[in-house]
A and B are shown apart, each in its own frame.
Chain A
Amino acid sequence: MRLVVPLQGVVQGRGGLIFGSLIPCALFYFLQLYLKRHRSPNSRSNPPSPSASAQNLAELTRTSSRSNLLSRGSIVPVLISSLATSISKPNDSPYYIGLDKASEDPYDRIDNPDGVIQLGLSENRLCFDLIEKWMLENLKDSMRGREEGDLSISGIASYQPLDGTMELKMAMAGFMSRVMGGAVSFEPSQMVLTAGATPAIETLCFCLADHGNAFLVPTPYYPGFDRDMKWRTGVELIPVHCRNTDNFMLSISALNQAFNQTRKRGTKIRGILLSNPANPVGNLLSREMLCDLLYFAREKNIHIISDEIFAGSIYENEEFVSIADVVDSEDFDKSRVHIVYGLSKDLSLPGFRVGMIYSFNENVLAAARKLTRFSSISAPTQRLLVSILSDARFIEEYMATNKKRIRNMHDLFVAGLEGLGIRCADSSAGLYCWADMSKLILTYGEKGELELWEKLLHVAKINITPGSACHCIEPGWFRCCFTTLDKEDIPVVMERIRKLADTRAASRG
């Protein structure tokens, strides 16, 4: 009884059992009565006796509102969903604020030398000349389709398979094997194509987890995951912290700890979301680590999503190992492994919006195929890409040149930062470096980091991504994307940072 009755005092007190039971009983009646009352006006629109007045009421308001339209409408604004309410607010993450600021006032050497230099967007502009050349030579033929001389544009105007045409899937399979060094072969029938990697990740999230479930995500992670994985799916992301002392490598013990803590909270974990190569750090997961992760996933019976969108943007000589390769080579349960890929980074075509889910799980594939109705790729774009990707000579040349140019830019940029006393984490891939600017921050904490970020954005006019936007546990780290720059811009960037650093040193000293 002590546990049960809300009116404990009454029960244990003088009233005794009968009194204590009568009171809650009465309360219960009143509750029912109250509910009944509240429901009556609209529920009893048909039976005549009591509802006559209610019906009149309904009739009245309608007719009256028809005559004085404005007065009533203006009182109550129409509600929107709670999702829309929360996301329609202005951005609060520095990642998005910085992107907006840089696109409003973009730096240009000649036209706008005082503009903001964009180092926050992971976009690769180093090889546009190659793509442009290809387009000039081949666009016309590729749009016309394969039939010699004959126009076949009806092939692109009409409804296409929503999950991508078979031709593009085959071309993508070839490209991915090429990108991953020929170590793995990809099966076109296990692919689902989407309008960008963003919807690919969201679709997978819908397929693998229910509202209120969670994914483990090693930090620092790409700030966009907070939107892609959480917004519409209602899924939670549980950070698994990686630290500078391990060069931001994931450890199974951290994973285990996060898993257990989350379970203790009662949240069900449905999977791990990996980025390999990691964004923002740029390091790779080793084959052993991938095996350990697969064992972990098997033990806990959870999924693994491996985001390998930077697989082809490797500039060091370290070998990239796809999880598809590991799954193939050993006897793992493939049905829990899902790969996300896209052409935005490795072919530098983010504007084309091409992403991919590659899965070994038939159910996930079936569901994802149906969900692509909400996010399919435009047919002309698919046709264009089939031509680009099947041009083996072009792809070969592009990959080699791209790798060389990224490495070159990386070396220059990292050397520039080192000249300012800023160290970068070891990295082998990606379009960015992960820089330790903790020496420049005034207070060691997220606040100090954001203060520096703001100074960089507004005073030095450089947009970079602060570690806190990536949920990095250690303050003072920043992601700098260098592939949107020209070589000539690097000294400008360094000069701007140096100036800011000098004023800081002066004010400290």
Chain B
Amino acid sequence: MTQALYSRTRSPETEKEKGGGGAAMRVIVPLQGVVQGRGGLVLGSVIPCALFYVLQFYLKRHRKDTDEQNNSDSSSQNPTPRSSSYGNLSELPGLTRNWSRGLSSPRNLRGPVSVSGRVSGIVKGADSPYYVGLRRAKEDPYDELSNPNGIIQLGLAENKLSLDLVEHWLADNAEQAILRNGKELSISRIATYQPFDGLMEFKVAVAGFMSQVMEKAVSFNPSQVVLTAGATPAIEILSFCLADAGNAFLVPTPYYPGYDRDIKWRTGVEIIHVPCRSADNFNLSITALDRAFDQAKKRGLKVRGIMLSNPSNPVGNLISRETLYILLDFAREKNIHIVSNELLAGSTHGNEEFVSMAELLDPDDFDRKRVHIVYGLSKDLSIPGFRVGVIYSHNEEVLAAAKKLARFSSVSAPTQCLLTSMLTDAKFVQTLITINRERLQSMYAQFVAGLKKLGIKCIKSSGGFYCWADMSGLIRSYSEKGELELWDKLLNIAKVNVTPGSACHCIEPGWFRFCFTTLTEKDIPIVMDRIQRVSETCKLNR
């Protein structure tokens, strides 16, 4: 092995064939036995040579059928399982073409017309427990009076704690906000084509709201904002802009289950898991990041960026300023992007300080170009139905591309007008943020205390609508199977929909995400009661 390394300095080719050849051969040639056995060098070289010919022959034959234009496909083939199936897909047309040319009509009558290969997976693919649970809870929702045996929804990250404030504002101001700009009636402002990436007034309002939420530590430039119909398309658009099909993003696990759709589905981008562990309180470690990066590279994948959630979803912890600096260094060293999803920046409830990635960036730092922030109004303003997402980037090319892609996902103009008024109502916004934080904190404390009484511990979290609970004591086998079994019991017996850690690709089994912001305070005892019943049967079985 060492010889092979040293031989780099000795260039003569004959060396390699003879002396170095032995050492190199051991590593290289698949038919090692033949080479080292009686055959010796000549036979050992003739056999691979023959194989080489056969390979060429084979390739040649195959290329004859599938015309030249398939070259582009074959060149982009990757050794990974996923992309090789892509390759097969693109080769398929060649085959079907040859048949259908001869006997087109009989064939057509047989099969119905097919959908594209890329969505057939989306149609057929089994849903993760995250989506199954959401659907079940929606079909049979708990209601104190009309459906007391329904499923309690703890799987949807939606905040209903401060909805009364938003409702109140809308009731007073909605009409005025949509129809009148100042005093003048302005129908043409909402009816006509508007810039796809959002009205300037609305961008200004959103940028102002973002810095207010982040406690004025950062100021956001409205011209670097691209608005989309929700944070989901914002993430997808960034994915399209930063990576080509077959490239990869590093994503710390456990992560929001929707990423598997947002980042991967249409873009063909892959996600490389960077496991975080309970021993570190699920904080990201740079060694894990390094290892994941190297492993991805070994697989031949090109890593184009890191996707962070800060405050993280589902754990709810914050990334410290120091870690953010280290991440920035890491990204610089590997020359990759950082996408920081700060959707929950305004929904922090602890005493810990939230630090936005935007805060770290020097105005003239060249590295700003690799940092992109995702934000939205779904969480912090509790209005997911309005579908407003934000891409904030310092990279002009990315902004230009994202603005053009916003044609596929723009925010409705009446909604923009409505929200512009809401966000520029400074008094209302300040009250909302403060009261919402108080309510979040109180619900969090109550919910965690309730779980603690049942002997279920949660990771300390400082942001978000959920807690991340360790129920590994209740699972029968310490594995994904055991975890899903418990999830199934919680859903079907206790009638509580929670998100299992495996749906978030958590590496340790037995963790669950509980969203508590869709509840009212008086629902908490009911939830605890239901969980207790299941936990008792679990303990008995053990």
A interface residue numbers (CB < 8 A to B): 3-5, 21-22, 24-26, 28-30, 32-33, 36-37, 39-40, 42-43, 45, 49-50, 61-62, 65-66, 69-70, 72-74, 76-85, 87-89, 121, 123, 125, 128, 131-132, 135-136, 139-140, 143-144, 151, 153-154, 156-160, 195-196, 198-199, 202, 206-213, 227-228, 231-232, 263, 265-268, 270, 298-303, 333, 335-336, 344, 348-354, 361, 363-364, 366-367, 370-371, 373-381, 384
Interface of B, secondary structure class, is helix
Q: Which residues of A contact B244 (CB under 8 A)?
A: 81-83
In the complex, besides A159-B158, A196-B407, 8 extra interface pairs with C-beta distance below 8 angstroms are A29-B48, A195-B412, A198-B408, A268-B93, A301-B113, A333-B112, A367-B120, A380-B385
A65 to B326 Cα, complex, angstroms: 11
A153 to B385 Cα, complex, angstroms: 11
B286 smallest CB distance to A (angstroms):
9
Pick the contact of A378: B48, B247, B294, B411 (CB < 8 A): B411
B343 smallest CB distance to A (angstroms):
14
A286 smallest CB distance to B (angstroms):
24
Contact check, A69 vs B332: say whether CB atoms are below 8 A apart.
Answer: yes
Q: Which residues of A contact B96 (CB under 8 A)?
A: 268
Counting from the closest, the 10 A-B pairs by CB-CB distance are: A379-B385, A351-B413, A25-B49, A266-B67, A84-B401, A88-B400, A268-B93, A367-B119, A84-B241, A381-B412
Chain B: CB-nearest residue to A157: B383
B interface residue numbers (CB < 8 A to A): 1-2, 4-5, 8, 13, 16-17, 21, 24, 27-28, 45-46, 48-50, 52-53, 56-57, 60, 66-70, 72-73, 89-90, 93-94, 96-97, 100-101, 104-105, 107-108, 111-113, 115-120, 122-123, 156, 158, 160, 163, 166-167, 170-171, 174-175, 178-179, 185, 187-194, 229-230, 232-233, 236, 240-245, 247, 258, 261-262, 265-266, 294, 297-298, 304, 329-330, 332-333, 335-337, 365-367, 369-370, 382-388, 395-398, 400-402, 404-405, 407-415, 418
Q: Which residues of A contact B370 (CB under 8 A)?
A: 78
A179 smallest CB distance to B (angstroms):
18
Contacts A352-B412, A364-B115 given; indicate if A135 touches B187 (C-beta within 8 A).
Answer: yes
Interface centre among B67, B90, B236, B409 (most CB of A within 10 A): B409
Chain B: CB-nearest residue to A27: B52
Contact check, A352 vs B414: say whether CB atoms are below 8 A apart.
Answer: yes
Contact check, B111 vs A301: say whether CB atoms are below 8 A apart.
Answer: yes
Q: Which residues of B contact A213 (CB under 8 A)?
A: 93, 116
Contact check, A80 vs B241: say whether CB atoms are below 8 A apart.
Answer: yes
Interface centre among A29, A78, A157, A366 (most CB of B within 10 A): A78
Pick the contact of B113: A82, A88, A212, A303 (CB < 8 A): A303
Chain B: CB-nearest residue to A96: B404
A209 to B112 Cα, complex, angstroms: 15
A350 to B27 Cα, complex, angstroms: 64
Q: Which residues of A contact B230 (CB under 8 A)?
A: 373-374, 376
Pick the contact of A4: B60, B70, B190, B405 (CB < 8 A): B60
Interface centre among A3, A74, A135, A366 (most CB of B within 10 A): A135
Pick the contact of A350: B56, B191, B385 (CB < 8 A): B191
Of the A-B pairs whose beta carbons lie under 8 Å apart in the complex, a sample of 10, sorted by A's number, is A24-B53, A62-B330, A84-B241, A198-B408, A213-B116, A350-B193, A352-B414, A374-B262, A378-B411, A380-B174
Q: Which residues of A contact B28 (CB under 8 A)?
A: 29, 32-33, 36
Contact check, B329 vs A132: say whether CB atoms are below 8 A apart.
Answer: no
A224 to B204 Cα, complex, angstroms: 29
